[in-house]
Every structure is written in structure tokens, then in C-alpha cells.
A and B are shown apart, each in its own frame.
Chain A
């Protein structure tokens, strides 16, 4: 069991008033708030330990290096990586995916090869592959989608073939909330010798993830969506694959031996981390992991599941008002992400009206333009929850939507 009041107390921003109302923050799929311990961790680093890493014998440099590498260890055990060497610091999930595409993709994808994606990928897990395919003459294929926003795997054996070199899939969709059967997909990819990339940006903040159990070759995520700072992300890769990859960025920190003519690369993960890394934010991401583990990922997942069930029920009552909810309708198949559409009210107008009530939702295409278009709308409103949200906030949202409908209907409040 978790104590929501206690958790909410840990997040200074949750006591802010927005337009005279208590903040109801439902834009967690975009970014999450930070507990005091994470904020303090940044302050503590700069006030007490600030120094560059791996470069000095003085005390501060050693402290900074220890904390920095300790954070890597925390991330490693958080996703159950075999070794912390498999954890490469990046800026965010997008950069992690780009590194895979530029480094592994450049070397291993050729003309006529196929890359398999799902139709619900974030632009970050679509465009790097489009670019790679364009440069190499490779082909991108897409899995099919069921009407309820789950993946249709009935034709998977036609789509995953000997030509398939890479399968890259989102673990939990930021637009629909769909939780994908990634273990099964990973197995299918491996059967034909393809690599399996998993975009965990929306999964690792909300559920326990075990990269060894899933079997994925790469796993990517962003710190800011899991209570950590912006500007820090992770690329996990299997060691034997990382060994064979070339660095995308070169320069300081990532070399072993340098002459005026050439250089040899440092060991993994340093080989992929050119220049001074984002030291303070890495350490604070480690603190975010501590915070999450302290609550317990199973507890977080269970609690959010109960929010999902409750919100699904509540959205049901809006059906008679014409509100369409996209994505799966069961909390087993869906994270706490609700993308919806109201006839005759454009999502941006809804967003502005809800903001007037202190409710923060996201409106637009959620960086999944082709998917949103395929739903037959140009934009949706999206409410996404985290462990600090309450059932009462679900009610506030639903009431807000109802009053927006009245607003636009006859102008009454």
C-alpha cells in the first residue's frame, strides 16, 4: 500500500495554485514532477561535490566520479542489466535511439533490409529509422493495429522475415497507453536473427522492467519522465552488441590512446560518452531511482492500475455526451494515459478551458502524427497520470470535461 498524501508532500510543485485553483497535473507522459530529494540532490552536488569526473586525483573529482558511477550502478540494477557497463548516459530517449540508428544501423543495415515498427511509435522511434532507411535503401514495415489500439499480431509471421534486421517497438504508448507484448515480439525478432529495440520512455517510470527477462538488445528511456531531471537519458545495450559498435561522437573522455594521427577507443560505456557528461543530472536521476524503489515499482504499477480502472469507468459515463476515448479499455492492456476527443470542441479549446480550472492536460498529436491521423482526428486531448495523482483528480478532470461541454453547448457554466 502506498500513502498518497505522504508522496504528494514530497513534490513542492503540487502545492502550486494555477489560475486560483489547486494544480491538477495530468501531463505526466510529457514530463513528470520532481520530488524534493531529486531537487536537493542537484543542489547538494553543486554545493558540495562539483567537479569533473574521471580526470583528477583531487578529492572533489573523486567524489564526483564515485557519485556519477554509483548512479550508473543504480540504473543498471533498476532495469536488471547484467552489468553497469551496459548503461550509457545520453540526453534523452531520442538521443539514445539516434545513437542506435547512426552507430549500429549504419554498420548493419543495407539495401533491401527491413526494419519493423509499430504504427504507434513516438516520432523519436520513427524518424531515426526513416532517415536510416532513406540513406541505406532499406525498407520500413509496420505492424497492424486493432481497433482498440492494441497490436494485431495475426500477420506477424508475414511481417517478420529473414529480411528483417531490426524490430523497434514502444513498450507503453504515450498516445494510447497501450502496453505492448514486448517479450513475444522480442522472441519473434530473435527467431529471424533481428535485433529488438525497446522504447521504455513510458514504461520504466511506471512498472518494473527487467531487460534480461524481456531479452531486448537495446532499451532506451528519459530521466525526466521518471521524476529525474531533464537533459539526462539512458541507452542500455547488450555488451556483445555495444562492443561491435562504433562511437557516434568522438573527443575527450572516450579515448584510450591518442596520437596526432589516430586514436583508440576507451572501454564501454565511455566509448559512447564523448566530452564532459551531464554529471549532476545523472546523479539526480540515481536519486529519482532511489525514490521510485522506495515506494516500490510493483506498488506504483498497482496503484496506477487502480487509477486506470477508475478513470475508464468515469470516461464510460461521458460516452453519452459523445466523448470518444482512444486505446484499450482494460487496465491490463493500458497504462494511465487517456487520449480522447469531444465532438465540436477542438482539443486546444478544451486545454485552455481546463487550464482555467487548474487542470494541465496535453493537446495535439503527442509526437505521433501518423497515428493520430489514423484515428480520424487531427489532434486529441490527453490526460496522463502518475503515482502522485489521486482518484479525486480523476473526478476533477471528468467534471472539467463536462463543464467544457456545457460551455460550448449552450454557454452555461
Chain B
């Protein structure tokens, strides 16, 4: 873990920006689904609330988090990324992204949203769970 990868991680203005100014943090008009997850080792917590439109796609989304910069940035980025998806598409996404992060085999996501910068966290294996807490919260949607 050289200083350069550390620089990638924290000096990456995209991560710090999401951490300081989380997207989608305002209350939404109705809540059709919600899901949360807690990391028992550190107490970090993430909550998603979302509403669906007539085509059963995410219309509004709210994200709330408590934790480290990686956890917060990941929650914020993912909340942007999944807007407009159906619940089925969300679960396809979490499965794919989780696999990417855990196996380091492929990077399925590119410039379509900010989440591609989260791949930098793979250089810090103990912090991958911080990225994936948001996926766990989405897997708990009900």
C-alpha cells in the first residue's frame, strides 16, 4: 500500500466530495422500500429509502449513513447509480458489483456514474467491507 494508492483513495476528490456532501440525503415523499445494514465490527450503518414510479422503477431515493469516508462515499455514489432502476435491476447490480470488489476479476462499471472510483479501495483489502455495506443495505430492501 504505497503512498500513491493512499493518494488515490483519499485525495481522490470524488470520494471526499461524496463523503462531505452526500447525494440524495433529503426526505422523500413516500417510501415503498427501505433497507439498512450495520457492520458489526465498526458500527458503521447505511440506510436506503426509495419510492417507485408507475413503471416500478426507482423515482426517488434517500440515503443516510454513519461511518467512515469510504462507507459514506460508497452509499452516496450507489444511491446516484441505482436511480431509475427496477428492484430486480438493483439486485443484479449489487451482485455484479460485489463480485467485482471481492474477486478483483473484472470492473463492470465505468464512467456511467462515480462508482468506478470505488475500485481503488481494492488496494486496501480490509476496507472493501466499507464499500460493500451499501450493497448489503440494498440486499435487505423490503
Residues of A in contact with B (beta carbons under 8 Å apart): 19-20, 346-349, 352-353, 355-356, 363-365, 369, 378-379, 407-408, 411
Is the CB–CB distance between A346 and B69 below 8 Å? yes
A-B contact pairs, 13 of them (CB 8 A): A19-B1, A19-B3, A347-B68, A348-B68, A348-B70, A352-B10, A355-B1, A356-B2, A363-B42, A364-B43, A378-B66, A378-B67, A411-B16
Complex alpha-carbon distance, A198 and B70, angstroms: 40
Min C-beta distance of A24 to chain B, whole Å:
15
Which 9 A-B pairs have CB atoms at the shortest separation, nearest pair first? A346-B68, A356-B6, A348-B68, A378-B43, A349-B69, A349-B68, A19-B1, A364-B42, A411-B11
| B30 is an interface residue with CB less than 8 A from chain A | no
Is the CB–CB distance between B124 and A352 below 8 Å? yes
A-B contact count (CB 8 A): 55
Contacts of A369 in B (CB 8 A): 43
Min C-beta distance of A407 to chain B, whole Å:
6
Is the CB–CB distance between B6 and A353 below 8 Å? yes
Given contacts A363-B42, A378-B42, 9 further A-B contacts (CB under 8 A): A348-B44, A348-B68, A348-B70, A352-B10, A356-B1, A356-B2, A378-B67, A407-B10, A411-B11
Min C-beta distance of B73 to chain A, whole Å:
10
Min C-beta distance of B17 to chain A, whole Å:
10
Interface string of B43-86 (1 = CB under 8 A from A): 11000000000000000000000111111000000000000000
The number of residues on chain B lying at the interface, defined by a beta carbon within 8 Å of a beta carbon of chain A, is 22
Complex alpha-carbon distance, A353 and B5, angstroms: 11
Complex alpha-carbon distance, A348 and B124, angstroms: 12
Is the CB–CB distance between A20 and B130 below 8 Å? no
Min C-beta distance of A19 to chain B, whole Å:
5
The contact of A411 among B13, B41, B69, B130, by CB within 8 Å, is: B13
Is the CB–CB distance between A348 and B6 below 8 Å? no
Is the CB–CB distance between A379 and B1 below 8 Å? no
Min C-beta distance of B46 to chain A, whole Å:
13
Contacts of B124 in A (CB 8 A): 352
Contacts of B71 in A (CB 8 A): 346
Min C-beta distance of A379 to chain B, whole Å:
6
| B9 is an interface residue with CB less than 8 A from chain A | yes
Complex alpha-carbon distance, A19 and B69, angstroms: 21
Contacts of B107 in A (CB 8 A): none
Is the CB–CB distance between B2 and A348 below 8 Å? no
Min C-beta distance of A22 to chain B, whole Å:
15
Is the CB–CB distance between A408 and B68 below 8 Å? no
Complex alpha-carbon distance, A411 and B124, angstroms: 20
Residues of B in contact with A (beta carbons under 8 Å apart): 1-3, 6, 9-11, 13, 16, 41-44, 66-71, 124, 127, 130
Complex alpha-carbon distance, A298 and B95, angstroms: 57
With known contacts A355-B1, A407-B11, A408-B16, A346–B6 Cβ distance under 8 A: no
Contacts of A364 in B (CB 8 A): 41-43
Complex alpha-carbon distance, A37 and B42, angstroms: 36
Q: Which residue of B has the minimal Cβ distance to A369?
A: B43
Contacts of A408 in B (CB 8 A): 10, 16, 69
Is the CB–CB distance between B3 and A356 below 8 Å? yes
Complex alpha-carbon distance, A137 and B2, angstroms: 55
Is the CB–CB distance between A352 and B42 below 8 Å? no
Contacts of B130 in A (CB 8 A): 348
Contacts of B44 in A (CB 8 A): 348, 378
Complex alpha-carbon distance, A381 and B127, angstroms: 16
With known contacts A348-B130, A349-B70, A411-B16, A379–B3 Cβ distance under 8 A: no
Is the CB–CB distance between B67 and A346 below 8 Å? yes
The contact of B2 among A19, A349, A378, A379, by CB within 8 Å, is: A19
With known contacts A364-B41, A379-B42, A408-B10, A348–B127 Cβ distance under 8 A: yes
Complex alpha-carbon distance, A363 and B39, angstroms: 14
Q: Which residue of A has the minimal Cβ distance to B4?
A: A356
Is the CB–CB distance between A353 and B69 below 8 Å? no
Is the CB–CB distance between A365 and B68 below 8 Å? no
Complex alpha-carbon distance, A133 and B16, angstroms: 47
Complex alpha-carbon distance, A20 and B70, angstroms: 24
Q: Which residue of B has the minimal Cβ distance to A21?
A: B3
With known contacts A346-B67, A378-B66, A20–B3 Cβ distance under 8 A: yes
Contacts of B42 in A (CB 8 A): 348, 363-365, 378-379
Min C-beta distance of A63 to chain B, whole Å:
43
Is the CB–CB distance between A352 and B6 below 8 Å? yes
Min C-beta distance of A123 to chain B, whole Å:
12
Contacts of B68 in A (CB 8 A): 346-349
Complex alpha-carbon distance, A355 and B126, angstroms: 12
The contact of B10 among A19, A349, A363, A365, by CB within 8 Å, is: A349
Q: Which residue of B has the minimal Cβ distance to A407?
A: B10
Min C-beta distance of A27 to chain B, whole Å:
14
Contacts of B43 in A (CB 8 A): 364-365, 369, 378-379
